[in-house]
């Protein structure tokens, strides 16, 4: 226990070491996070009246970000499956960064749920009336927290074994890896069931919601990982092969194609049948009775996803510049589609036929930016700790040198794949 405490202390101290770019990045994220905290304090005092949500539209930007980030967390499976099932060596040394991203994404999900409730103590009501197994919300609580604990165990165990310079015992992490693969799919499926199971919201009453969630998650999540791995390669010198990035590109291409197909199928069903259930879809895509706040959002999302798909199927798809452009377009497009394009329209019109449009307030936006900045801050710290440990620069029998020349002398080769 003493050695583990020392390990945590050394990791915490290491997170404060870096060059001027690292300090500038961390300072910027800290400032944004503190601004978000101040905005949340204002919301805590004045209540949810500081948001754009109303009695008619009770879910907004917070739940939109929550839905998107659940998919980002689930996407870690798209790195774990090729490594542990198909024995893909290109992603072997990189899978831990996908799992760390899943940890951060789940933490941000829980924070978005907390701010959406208005007050943290309201979460106690859910725990006191843990209506298991009838309540889908209870299933979601178990799924999210269970997935968080699984990834914390896997990442923490592998990093600590690398720190101690010993091979990890497979029975202590391999079973959890395979459980996490199934769990990753379940967290987004259960989240989809939360929506599709609400009979009073016809816009969500579709069996396609769950597969659409999975497909979009396996597109946007790996797209974020592609961009993240390139930043890690450039900022830390950690070996990230172009072949590994192209493997993720193939996954993204298939997932985005399926997502676009499912979206088209849902649009056909809504408009061709011309049923009463299509009113919310009409509001989303074309506007309703002069109300069209979301129309530019959804068509922008479709345009961005289409652009990404064209690039991914083009002969120049292997060029990193175009691939990065496709990833950014896809991330923004799917965020709009799963956020403002999915959450808000289900409340418009209301069951009484009222049309009350939703626009996020400045305070809401600041809270969201604060949570996202805090998440990026955590992920930066995790990467800052993990890279030296896997490189053998920070181990139980070595002293970490802040001098980059001394560290470069230790990097005689690439990190061992056995550490994964």
Per-residue pLDDT tens over the stretch 29-64 = 999 999 999 999 999 999 888 998 988 888 889 999
Q: What is the pLDDT of residue 300?
A: 94
The C-alpha atoms of residue 234 and residue 102 are separated, in whole angstroms, by 22
CA distances to 48, 68, 71, 81, 184 from 75, rounded to whole Å, are: 32, 11, 6, 10, 7
d(CA 346, CA 279): 9
Say what the alpha-carbon torsion angle 88, 191, 331, 373 is, to the nearest 10 degrees. Answer: -100
Length of the chain equals 420
Q: List the chain domain ranges.
A: 2-419
Q: In which residue are the tokens 């230790």 written?
A: 410
367: confidence class by pLDDT, cuts 50, 70, 90: very high
Residue 417 has pLDDT above 50, yes or no: no
Which tens digits make up the pLDDT trace of 191-249? 889 888 887 888 888 888 889 889 998 999 999 999 999 999 888 888 888 888 988 99
Spatial distance between the Cα atoms of 386 and 238, rounded to a whole number of angstroms: 10
CATH topology for 2-419 is: Formate dehydrogenase/DMSO reductase fold (1.20.1630)
Which of the four pLDDT bands, split at 50, 70 and 90, describes residue 407?
low
Q: Which two tokens stand for residue 195?
A: 């929506």
Token pair belonging to 99: 């799992």
Distance (Å, rounded) from C-alpha 37 to C-alpha 362? 13
| Distant-in-sequence contacts of 147-153, Cβ < 8 A, 24+ apart | 147/73, 147/102, 147/106, 147/180, 147/183, 147/184, 147/187, 148/103, 148/106, 148/107, 148/110, 150/176, 150/179, 150/180, 150/183, 151/76, 151/99, 151/100, 151/102, 151/103, 151/106, 151/180, 152/103
pTM: 0.90
Count Cβ atoms within 10 A of the Cβ of residue 409 and give its class: 0-12 exposed, 13-18 middle, 19 or more buried: exposed
What are the tens digits of pLDDT across the range 368-395? 999 999 999 999 999 999 988 888 788 8
Tens digits of residue pLDDT in 119-154: 787 777 777 777 777 788 888 888 899 999 999 999
Record the tokens describing residue 158, joined without a space. Answer: 């592998």
Q: How far is it, in rounded angstroms, from Cα 382 to Cα 121? A: 29
What pLDDT was estimated at residue 403?
52
């Amino acid at each position: 226990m003493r050695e583990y405490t020392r390990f945590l202390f050394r990791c915490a101290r290491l997170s404060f070491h870096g060059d001027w770019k690292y300090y500038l990045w961390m300072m910027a994220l800290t400032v944004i996070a503190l601004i978000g905290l101040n905005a949340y304090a204002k919301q805590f005092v004045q209540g949810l009246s500081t948001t754009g949500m109303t009695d008619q539209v009770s879910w907004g930007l917070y739940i939109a970000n929550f839905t998107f980030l659940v998919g980002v967390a689930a996407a870690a499976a798209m790195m774990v499956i090729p490594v542990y099932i198909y024995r893909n060596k290109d992603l072997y040394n990189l899978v831990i960064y996908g799992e760390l991203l899943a940890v951060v994404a789940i933490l941000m999900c829980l924070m978005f749920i907390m701010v959406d409730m208005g007050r943290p103590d309201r979460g106690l009501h859910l725990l006191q009336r843990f209506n298991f197994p009838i309540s889908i919300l209870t299933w979601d609580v178990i799924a999210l927290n269970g997935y968080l604990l699984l990834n914390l165990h896997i990442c923490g165990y592998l990093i600590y074994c690398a720190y101690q310079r010993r091979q990890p015992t497979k029975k202590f992490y391999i079973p959890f890896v395979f459980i996490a693969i199934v769990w990753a799919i379940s967290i987004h499926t259960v989240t989809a069931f939360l929506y599709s199971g609400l009979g009073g919201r016809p816009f969500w009453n579709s069996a396609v919601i769950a597969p659409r969630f999975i497909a979009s998650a396996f597109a946007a999540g790996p797209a974020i990982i592609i961009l993240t791995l390139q930043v890690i390669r450039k900022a830390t010198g950690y070996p990230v092969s172009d072949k590994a990035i192209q493997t993720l590109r193939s996954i993204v291409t298939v997932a985005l194609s399926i997502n676009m197909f499912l979206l088209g199928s849902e649009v056909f069903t809504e408009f061709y049948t011309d049923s009463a259930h299509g009113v919310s879809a009409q509001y989303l895509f074309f506007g309703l009775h002069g109300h069209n706040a979301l129309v530019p959002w959804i068509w922008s999302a479709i345009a961005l996803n289409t652009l990404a798909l064209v690039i991914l199927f083009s002969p120049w798809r292997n060029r990193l510049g175009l691939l990065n452009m496709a990833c950014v377009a896809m991330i923004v497009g799917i965020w709009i589609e799963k956020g403002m394009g999915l959450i808000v329209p289900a409340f418009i019109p209301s069951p009484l036929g009222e049309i009350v449009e939703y626009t996020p307030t400045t305070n809401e936006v600041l809270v969201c930016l604060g949570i996202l900045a805090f998440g990026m801050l955590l992920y930066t710290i995790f990467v800052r700790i993990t890279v030296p440990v896997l490189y053998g620069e920070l181990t139980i029998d070595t002293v970490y040198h802040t001098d980059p020349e001394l560290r470069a002398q230790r990097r005689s080769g690439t990190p061992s794949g056995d550490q994964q």
